[in-house]
A = this chain, B = another copy of it.
Amino acid sequence: METKKKKMKMMTLDQMKDKDIGKIGTAERDIYEFDLRMEVLGDMIKSVRKERKLTQEQLGELIGVQKSQISKLERNTKNVTIETILKVFRALKANVKFSVEINESEFKVAQ
């Protein structure tokens, strides 16, 4: 999981704006959906933060952590806890949804 170039991977919002899933509510709401994967999560934080015109330091203040911590979250150096995710997106006034998709067939009981 370290094969990519690493130089600006920042594709999320821009690319995602196309395959935008939602447009449910009022005028100005955007929804970005993606398979839950660590890498993407980090990008998402960064994207939304930029959308909100905040520096890492400012976001850090909102949450109560150092800018270095935000940097780490965005660059997903690590596995992350749900609480952490919520803390961040709450500060960014973003709503986080989660969905589980099951194919009834797909499952073989035998192991």
Contacts and interface: CB of A to CB of B under 8 A. Distances in A.
Nearest to A40: B98
A6 interface: no
Given A53-B109, A83-B79, A111-B61, A28 B95 contact: no
A104 interface: yes
A22 to B, nearest CB: 7
A61 to B, nearest CB: 7
What does DSSP make chain A's interface, helix, strand, loop or mixed? mixed
Nearest to A82: B80
A10 interface: no
Contacts of A100: 31-33, 44, 48, 89, 94-97
